[in-house]
Amino acid sequence: MAKGQANPTPTKKHLARMERERRQTRYILIISAIVIILVLVFISIGAISQYIIQPNQPVAKLNSDAITTREFQTYARYIRLQLVNQYQQTQEFMNLFSDDPSNQAYFQQNLQQIQLQLQPEVLGQQVIDSLIDDRLIRYEAEQRGITVSQEEIDARIAENLFNFYPNGTPTPAPTSSPVPTSTLNPTQQAIFPPTPTITPTITPTLTASVELSPTVVITATPTAMPTPTSVPRPTATAYTEDAFKTDYNQFISNIDDGINVSEEDLRHFFEGFILREKVKQALTADVSNEQDQVWARHILVADEAAAQAALDRLNNGEDFAALAAELSTDQSNAQQGGDLGWFGIGMMDPDFEKVAFNLNIGDISSPVQTAFGWHIIQVLGHENRMITDSEHSQLVEGKFQDWLQEKRDASKIETFDYWLERVPTFPALPAEATQQ
């Protein structure tokens, strides 16, 4: 048997084809590698942009201090969580009072308000404004040496989020303080003569009109009543520190996993809340519990001619209260003689106050124009008066807000339009809310 034949010698044509196929394979491999590299580069760039570059981009600047996208989004998610929880709680109350149409309208209005607050443009602007205010407050705290300890943050989180008071529940302070009534001076007594005291006449012949039903039978010997069995009431389980720590750790885990808010973020928020209170207290420590106030009444009419006519009638001796009831368009007090009660600076129209605070007691003004119309004003009293706790709080908050506005006006504030595209949309409202 003959040996196997030797491999044929490749021809030039065959070699050329093999070379061509080899080059094509190499090109395909190179192109594939380039495509893979480009895809990886684009993915890396996107990841770098999303997770490194974008979070550090500013959505706003206060002077040279940047408010980063990460800070903006973190706080926005926390605010969204609070609003969503508030929405769900309101829905629960709404279901409890489903039989009362008036309550339904009230709750529905609250739900719509929360939905409005969750709109990206509304929520985002609120968060930017809050973060700018937080920066201004922290600057002021640093200059004044105001600090917040970790123990203060611990206590505030425990109290506000968990109603846990390790040192005992604090006794609530009175919500308002009584304001003493002023004694009328002779001029005021002349304007408002004392009302005679009516002493009721006791008529001995009056008899009670209560009638007993004839079907009621009163027995001479009362029937012995069974002694009620004492049923022990369950005592509330004390909220222990161990239970609080368990709840706290669970809460931190939930917000970390659910809305990407860390424990450090949460503590930073609460540090800001406490700093705000301390700075406000320092800035408004001089706000007095007394206030320069005026007691006045007025007649409000549409035009100057009507006001002058009313003034002429007063000068001719007509009664102010009677004219107020007849002419004044301010229906809130016309039937009370136009009486506005006591008020301080900032509670009335500035043009009204300018006149009222410069009149002597008993004087009647010339016609005064404000945005509401034309007034004839009579001052009935002018003195420093004690104010309620509520009024004092309003003055404190007003002064603090004025300070914040002054700081904003004196600062260079810059916002970047792309913040609207970066407002978080989670946590989301319940599905049924979006179908309403």
Task: List the structure tokens of 92.
Answer: 């629960």
Q: Is the pLDDT of residue 199 over 80?
A: no
Q: Is the pLDDT of residue 222 over 50?
A: no
Mean pLDDT of 256-274: 97
Mean pLDDT of 409-417: 96
Residues of the chain with pLDDT > 70, as a percent, come to 78
Mean pLDDT of 178-187: 58
CA angle 248, 253, 258 (to 5 degrees): 125
pLDDT at position 150 is 97
Q: Which amino acid is at 385?
A: R
Beta bridge partners of 71: none
pLDDT at position 193 is 53
pLDDT at position 183 is 61
Q: Give the phi and the psi of residue 376 in degrees, each rounded to 5.
A: -110, 120
Task: List the structure tokens of 232.
Answer: 């022990």
pLDDT at position 30 is 85
Using CA atoms, how far apart are residues 382 and 344, in angstroms rounded to an integer? 10
Cβ pair 386, 180 in contact under 8 A: yes
> What pLDDT band is residue 181 in, cutting at 50, 70 and 90?
low
3-state secondary structure 192-211: CCCCCCCCCCCCCCCCCCCC
Using CA atoms, how far apart are residues 296 and 348, in angstroms rounded to an integer? 11
Using CA atoms, how far apart are residues 359 and 351, in angstroms rounded to an integer? 13
Ranges 159-168, 235-244, 344-353, 360-369: which has the least confidence: 235-244
Q: What number of other Cβ atoms are within 10 A of residue 396's Cβ?
A: 16
Cβ pair 404, 136 in contact under 8 A: yes
Cβ pair 104, 91 in contact under 8 A: no
Q: Which helix (H) or strand (E) holds 373?
A: strand 373-386
Using CA atoms, how far apart are residues 273 and 59, in angstroms rounded to an integer? 22
> What would the pLDDT profile of 61-105 be if each residue is shown by its tens digit?
999 899 999 999 999 999 999 999 999 999 999 988 888 887 888
Using CA atoms, how far apart are residues 84 and 433, in angstroms rounded to an integer? 10
Q: Which amino acid is at 190?
A: A
Using CA atoms, how far apart are residues 132 and 67, in angstroms rounded to an integer? 8
> What pLDDT band is residue 236 in, cutting at 50, 70 and 90?
low
Place of tokens 């404190």: 396
Q: Is the pLDDT of residue 4 over 70?
A: no
Using CA atoms, how far apart are residues 347 and 350, in angstroms rounded to an integer? 9
Q: Is the pLDDT of residue 216 over 80?
A: no
Using CA atoms, how far apart are residues 371 and 399, in angstroms rounded to an integer? 24
Using CA atoms, how far apart are residues 387 and 356, in angstroms rounded to an integer? 19
**Strand stretches in 261-314, DSSP E:** 290-301
Query: Residue 329, SS3?
Result: coil
For residue 10, say if its preceding peptide bond is cis, omega within 30 degrees of 0. Answer: no
In the chain, the N- to C-terminal Cα span, in Å, equals: 95
Q: Is the pLDDT of residue 305 over 70?
A: yes
pLDDT at position 239 is 87
Indicate if the alpha-carbon torsion angle 21, 25, 31, 35 is positive or negative.
Answer: positive
pLDDT at position 209 is 35
Q: Which residues contact 298 (CB under 8 A, 6 or more apart)?
A: 324, 328, 330, 338, 340, 352, 375, 376, 377, 378
Task: List the structure tokens of 356.
Answer: 């009222």
Mean pLDDT score of the chain: 84
Q: Please, is 107 exposed, middle or buried when counting C-beta atoms within 10 Å of its C-beta (0-12, 13-18, 19+)?
A: buried
Beta bridge partners of 293: 344, 383
Ranges 48-57, 289-298, 348-357: which has the least confidence: 48-57
Task: List the structure tokens of 240.
Answer: 């222990």
Q: Is the pLDDT of residue 436 over 80?
A: no
Using CA atoms, how far apart are residues 328 and 325, in angstroms rounded to an integer? 6
> What would the pLDDT profile of 48-73 be if each residue is shown by its tens digit?
556 567 888 999 999 989 999 999 99
Task: List the structure tokens of 363.
Answer: 């004087």
Task: List the structure tokens of 164.
Answer: 């846990």
Provide the Cα torsion 378, 380, 383, 386; round to 10°.
-110
Using CA atoms, how far apart are residues 294 and 288, in angstroms rounded to an integer? 17
Using CA atoms, how far apart are residues 118 and 113, in angstroms rounded to an integer? 9
pLDDT at position 21 is 77
CA angle 151, 152, 157 (to 5 degrees): 100
